[in-house]
Amino acid sequence: MRTNPLNFVFFSLTLLAASPVSFCQILPLQYYTSQDGLPANGINAFFQDSRGYLWIGTAEGVSVYDGATFTNYRTRDGLTRNFITCITESSVSPSTIWIGTAGGINIFSDGHFKSLHLDSTAASKEIQVLLEEHFLFCASPSQ
């Protein structure tokens, strides 16, 4: 009886793919707390920016982790409130970070915070989600 060489290749690849060694990878897992530099132990928001930095939002401010150290920002650094609810990065302007807090929206750009005031209602200050939308405006030629 003659065997097809493709059957042998398929059978070998199936065994290799099913092998636990081919899928297993042990990655280091590190837990960080306020003792390591975070402003608080609980995390409300988490975001990785285009540079690879981790932005960690807590009830006591936001931390930026560069892989070695934490840099913490609070109201004294320009945040409207310390309670961080959400974080995202602008795709239009990379390295511009938008931070939602229990007191409004903050924009971090060029190492400084700016506050974005929407209106004076309490509901506009309770930011829960940040989404970026791109608008395309088209004008028809005058006739």
Q: Is residue 71 situated within a structural domain? A: yes
Tell me if 86 sits within 8 A of 127, measured CB to CB: yes
Tokens of 16: 């290799």
CA nearest neighbour of 61 among 52, 70, 53: 70
SS3 51: coil
Q: Is residue 140 situated within a structural domain? A: no
The residue count of the chain comes to 143
Q: Is residue 11 situated within a structural domain? A: no
Name the domain count of the chain: 1
Q: CATH number for the domain including 88?
A: 2.40.10
* DSSP designation for 12: H
pLDDT band at 59 (very low <50, low <70, confident <90, very high): very high
pLDDT at 138: 55
Q: Is residue 114 situated within a structural domain? A: yes
Q: CA–CA separation, 127 vs 131, rounded Å?
A: 11
Q: Is residue 23 situated within a structural domain? A: no
| Greater pLDDT, 124 or 75 | 75
Buried b / exposed e along 16-47 (16+ C-beta atoms within 10 A): eeeeeeeeeeeeeeeeeeeeeebbbeeebbeb
Domain extent at residue 105: 34-125
pTM of the model: 0.71
| Greater pLDDT, 65 or 10 | 65
Neighbours of 94 (CB within 10 A): 11
Tell me if 56 sits within 8 A of 63, measured CB to CB: yes
pLDDT at 50: 93
Q: Is residue 80 situated within a structural domain? A: yes
pLDDT digits (tens, 9 = 90+) for 82-109: 999 999 999 888 889 999 998 888 999 9
Q: Is residue 16 situated within a structural domain? A: no
33-37, 110-114, 129-133, 134-138: segment of lowest average pLDDT = 134-138
CA nearest neighbour of 64 among 99, 90, 30, 93: 99
Q: CA–CA separation, 109 vs 111, rounded Å?
A: 5
Q: Is residue 27 situated within a structural domain? A: no
